[in-house]
C-alpha cells in the first residue's frame, strides 16, 4: 500500500500532466498496468521543505549527438526509490557554461549511473525508502517534464494533489478506526455489561465521531474549492 498509494501516486502526477506525448503512452501505461514503478525524488540531505534549496544539478549537454542533461546530485528519504524504474526528479538546471536556468523536472530512467541505497527506517519496509545518487546520469531532452525553469511550479501543483490525497486517506482510515471501536464496544463485556452501555465509553465514541465529522466537512469544502476555484 505504501509503494502504490504513496510512491506511485505522487510520482506519476508530473508525468501525467506535464510529460511529453511519448510518456503518456509508454511510461504511464507501464506504470498503471503494474509493469513499472515510479517515485518522486525531491528531498535532499540539505533540502526538505525548502524546495528552492535543492543542489542536484542538471547541466545541458549533447551526448552522442543527442541533446539532454547530465545530472549529478543526491536525493534522500525517497519513497519507492529502492524498487523504482523511473524517478520524477526536481533539479537545478544550468546551461553548458554553468548559467542558472532555474529549477526543472526530469523523468529519469533506471540506469547503472543511478545508485540507490536502502535507508533502514522504523516505518514500513514496503515504502522502499532510499538514498539516490545520480552520478553524471545522462537524461535525454525528451524526458523534460514541462519547460526548463518550470520545476518549482510543477512541484507545487503536484504537492496540492499529494496533500489532498493524504487528507483523504487519513480521514477515511480514521473512520475505519471508529467503526472498529464501535464493533468492539458492542461485543466486549466488562463489569457485567457491554462497553457500549458504559456512559464514559459512549462519551468517548461521541467525541471521536464529532471530531471526525468536523474534519470530513472541512475536507469536502476544501475539495469543492479545489475543483471549482479560479485557476
Burial label for 68, CB within 10 Å (0-12, 13-18, 19+), is buried
Give the cell for residue 10: 505522487
Cα(89)–Cα(159) distance, rounded to whole angstroms?
14
HSE-CB at 47 with a 13 A cutoff on CA atoms is 17
* Predicted confidence band of residue 125 (pLDDT cuts 50, 70, 90): confident
pLDDT reported for residue 50: 82
Residue 160 confidence (pLDDT) above 90: no
215: nearest Cα among 174, 162, 180 = 174
pLDDT reported for residue 187: 95
* Predicted confidence band of residue 47 (pLDDT cuts 50, 70, 90): confident
Cα(179)–Cα(133) distance, rounded to whole angstroms?
44
Instruction: State the SS3 of 69-125.
Output: EEEEEEEEEECCHHHCCEEEEEEEEECCCCCEEEEEEEEEECCCCEEEEECCCCCCH
Cα(13)–Cα(88) distance, rounded to whole angstroms?
9
Q: What is the rounded average pLDDT of the residues 140-145?
A: 97
Burial label for 230, CB within 10 Å (0-12, 13-18, 19+), is exposed
- Average confidence score pLDDT of the chain: 92
Cα–Cα distance list, 63 to 56, 130, 152 (Å): 20, 29, 27
Residue 1 confidence (pLDDT) above 60: no
Amino acid at each position: 500500500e505504501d509503494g502504490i498509494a504513496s510512491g506511485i501516486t505522487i510520482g506519476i502526477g508530473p508525468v501525467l500532466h506535464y510529460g511529453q506525448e511519448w510518456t503518456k503512452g509508454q511510461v504511464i501505461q507501464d506504470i498503471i498496468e503494474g509493469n513499472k514503478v515510479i517515485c518522486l525524488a525531491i528531498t535532499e540531505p540539505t533540502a526538505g521543505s525548502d524546495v528552492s534549496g535543492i543542489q542536484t544539478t542538471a547541466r545541458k549537454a549533447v551526448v552522442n549527438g543527442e541533446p539532454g542533461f547530465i545530472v549529478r546530485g543526491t536525493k534522500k528519504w525517497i519513497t519507492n526509490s529502492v524498487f523504482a524504474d523511473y524517478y520524477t526528479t526536481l533539479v537545478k538546471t544550468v546551461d553548458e557554461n554553468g548559467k542558472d536556468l532555474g529549477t526543472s523536472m526530469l523523468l529519469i530512467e533506471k540506469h547503472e549511473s543511478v545508485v540507490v541505497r536502502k535507508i533502514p527506517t522504523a516505518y514500513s519496509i514496503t515504502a522502499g525508502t532510499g538514498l539516490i545518487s545520480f552520478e553524471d546520469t545522462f537524461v535525454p531532452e525528451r524526458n523534460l517534464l514541462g519547460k526548463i525553469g518550470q520545476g518549482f511550479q510543477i512541484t507545487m501543483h503536484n504537492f496540492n494533489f499529494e496533500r489532498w490525497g493524504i487528507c483523504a486517506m487519513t480521514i477515511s482510515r480514521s473512520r475505519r478506526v471508529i467503526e472498529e471501536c464501535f464493533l468492539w464496544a458492542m461485543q466486549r463485556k466488562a463489569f457485567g455489561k457491554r462497553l457500549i452501555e458504559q456512559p464514559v465509553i459512549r462519551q468517548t465514541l461521541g467525541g471521536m465521531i464529532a471530531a471526525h465529522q468536523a474534519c470530513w466537512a472541512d475536507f469536502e469544502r476544501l475539495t469543492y474549492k479545489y475543483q471549482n476555484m479560479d485557476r
